[in-house]
Amino acid sequence: MSAGNGMMQKRGASVGLDRVRPLMPGLIAAMTVGLAARFLSEHYGAPVMLMALLLGMALAFLSDAGSRTAPGIEFTAKSVLRFGVGLLGLGITAQQIAGAGLGVLALTFSGVALTLGLGILGARLLGKSVAFGVLTGGAVAICGASAALAIASVLPKDNKDLERDTVFTVIAVTALSTLAMILYPIVGSALGLSDYRMGVFFGATIHDVAQVVGAGYSVSDLAGSTATFVKLLRVALLVPLVVVLSLVFARPGRTDGGPAPRLPIPFFVLGFAALVLIGSTDVLPPELVAALLDLSRWCLVTAIAALGMKTSLRKLGDVGPRSIILVCALTLTLAAFALAGIQLLLP
Over the chain (347 residues), what is each successive 10-residue block's mean pLDDT?
51 59 89 91 79 84 83 85 78 69 87 94 92 92 83 79 84 82 89 91 86 79 80 82 82 47 57 81 86 87 82 64 90 95 86
**CA separation, residue 168 to residues 172, 174, 312 (Å):** 6, 10, 11
Q: Cα–Cα distance between 302 and 305 in angstroms, integer?
A: 5
Q: Are 51 and 62 in contact (CB under 8 A)?
A: no
> 128, 107, 86: which is closest to 299 by C-alpha?
86
Alpha-carbon gap, residue 276 to 48, rounded angstroms = 25
pLDDT at 19: 76
Specify whether the CB–CB gap between 239 and 172 falls below 8 A.
Answer: no
Check if the beta carbon of residue 94 is closer than 8 Å to that of residue 298. Answer: no
Q: What whole-number distance in Å separates Cα of residue 284 and Cα of residue 291?
A: 11
d(CA 185, CA 181): 7
**Count of residues making up the chain:** 347
* pLDDT for residue 221: 75
The pTM assigned to this predicted structure is 0.67
Give 188-226 as a 3 state SS string.
HHHCCCCHHHHHHHHHHHCCCHHHHHHHHHHHCHHHHHH
| pLDDT of the residue at 256 | 44
Backbone phi and psi for residue 223, each to the nearest 5 degrees, phi listed first: -65, -40
> What are the backbone angles phi and psi of residue 335, rounded to the nearest 5°?
-65, -45
Question: Cβ–Cβ contacts within 10 Å for residue 284, how many?
Answer: 15
Sign of CA dihedral 286, 80, 278, 269: positive
**Using CA atoms, how far apart are residues 95 and 280, in angstroms rounded to an integer?**
7
Dihedrals φ, ψ of 64, to 5°?
-60, 145
What's residue 254's pLDDT? 43
Residue 263: the pLDDT is: 46
Find out whether 177 and 140 touch, Cβ atoms under 8 Å: no
- In Å, the largest CA–CA distance within the chain is 78
Q: What radius of gyration, in Å, describes the C-alpha atoms of the chain?
A: 21
Cα gap 303→88, rounded to integer Å: 14
Among residues 223, 237, 151, 133, which one has the least CA distance to residue 181?
Answer: 223
In whole angstroms, what is the distance from residue 347 CA to residue 342 CA? 8
Give the Cα separation of 47 and 154 in Å (integer). 26
Residue 338's SS3 state is helix
- The one-letter code for the residue type at 91 is G
According to DSSP, residue 78 is labeled I
Residues 95, 48 contacting (CB under 8 angstroms): no
Residue from 163, 188, 204, 170 nearest 47 by CA: 170
Number of other residues whose CB lies within 10 A of the CB of residue 25? 17
Predicted confidence at residue 312, as pLDDT, reads 62
